[in-house]
Amino acid sequence: MMSLNPLRCLLLGGLVITAVLINSVALADEAPARLAVQADAQLDMVPDRARLSARLWERTPAVAVAAETDDTDPDALGQARDRLEQRAAELIRTLEEAGVARDDIHAGSLSVQPEYVAAPRNGGGDSETLQRTRIERPFQVRVDDLERLPLLLNALTTANVNAMDGIRYELSNRDAVVDEALVMALEKARHKAELMARTLGVTLGPVVAVNETHSPDYAPRMMAMSAGAREGTSQTEYRPGTITIEAGVSVSWAIEN
């Protein structure tokens, strides 16, 4: 195989270097200078709506677990369900009498689950396992007037709910507040970009790229029931606090000079 002439190799190498330099200049011309900033905004809003969560349940009598089957007596199960449905109807009536609209009361689906309990020990010191079935229905009550919370908690207590699971505070104008947080983040980004441009002595051109670094975050605020709330005392105070909505953006402007 013949070797390349040294002069020819030198010429070829020079052509390659020249091509690389030309491409680099072209790429530099195609990518104008940019000024990029990131900005975050935060809104702390006092909630104006709440949801109360409560549960009703009934149990079948506890019976010894048979070795060959663990099926629940259908008659006992039906009686427990009838009792639960009667109590649920009474709860809804109590809430309506307290001024809650039917559309603001949400009754969840029935859940059925077995429970196992230990029977008292016999004379030999042994104990057997007993089984019963628990039928449960959850309820949620929407409250648009937070001043009515004590009254509605008293109504739940009067209806003898088995558990009150807490209060979830919300915003009725959630979408508008989320939009406001995003606008604040964009305005903050523009302010930062203009400040940097003035300081550096350059002129901002058009926006060439914009992205959310994180979408506006909204989470309802949960508050557990206090002892006074579970007992329905009128002295209980409810302080919803604030709900924080955060938004973040990344924006790039072209630099014109």
Domain ranges across the chain: 31-46+174-219+237-255, 49-170
Query: Which range among 91-95, 97-101, 187-191, 215-219 has the greatest average pLDDT?
Result: 187-191
Give the DSSP H/E element, type plus range, for residue 107.
strand 105-107
Q: Inform me whether the pLDDT recorded for 225 exceeds 80.
A: no
Q: Inform me whether the pLDDT recorded for 6 exceeds 60.
A: no
Q: Inform me whether the pLDDT recorded for 8 exceeds 90.
A: no
Q: 204: helix, coil or strand?
A: strand
How does the average pLDDT of the chain come out, rounded? 82
Instruction: For the chain, state the CA radius of gyration.
Output: 34
Task: Specify the range with the lowest mean pLDDT, choosing from 105-109, 118-122, 195-199.
Answer: 118-122
Task: Specify the range with the lowest mean pLDDT, choosing from 27-41, 43-57, 76-90.
Answer: 27-41
Give the DSSP H/E element, type plus range, for residue 47.
none
Report the predicted TM-score, pTM, of the whole model to 2 decimal places.
0.68
Residue closest to 161 by CA, chosen among 180, 146, 140 = 140
Residue closest to 128 by CA, chosen among 57, 85, 67, 183 = 67
The CATH number of domain 31-46+174-219+237-255, selected from 3.50.50.60, 3.90.79.10, 3.90.45.10, 3.30.110.170: 3.30.110.170
Domains 31-46+174-219+237-255 and 49-170 belong to one CATH topology:
no
Residue closest to 155 by CA, chosen among 228, 90, 235, 222 = 90
- Terminal Cα distance for the chain, rounded: 56
Task: Specify the range with the lowest mean pLDDT, choosing from 3-7, 82-86, 249-253.
Answer: 3-7
Q: Does domain 49-170 have CATH number 3.30.70.2970?
A: yes
Does residue 232 contact residue 153 with C-beta atoms inside 8 Å?
A: yes
User: Phi then psi for 142, rounded to 5 degrees?
Assistant: -85, 135
Residue closest to 146 by CA, chosen among 230, 233, 49, 78 = 49
14 conformational bin, left if phi > 0, alpha if psi -120 to 50, beta if neither: alpha
Confidence at 2, pLDDT banded by 50, 70, 90: very low
> How far is residue 142 from each of residues 69, 149, 152, 213, measured CA to CA in Å?
43, 10, 10, 33
Give the DSSP H/E element, type plus range, for residue 134.
strand 129-143
Q: How do residues 157-174 score in pLDDT, each as one tens digit?
A: 888 999 999 899 999 999
Q: Inform me whether the pLDDT recorded for 15 exceeds 50.
A: no
Confidence at 128, pLDDT banded by 50, 70, 90: confident
Does residue 141 contact residue 18 with C-beta atoms inside 8 Å?
A: no
pLDDT of residue 64: 81
Q: Is 216 exposed, middle or buried (0-12, 13-18, 19+ CB in 10 A)?
A: buried
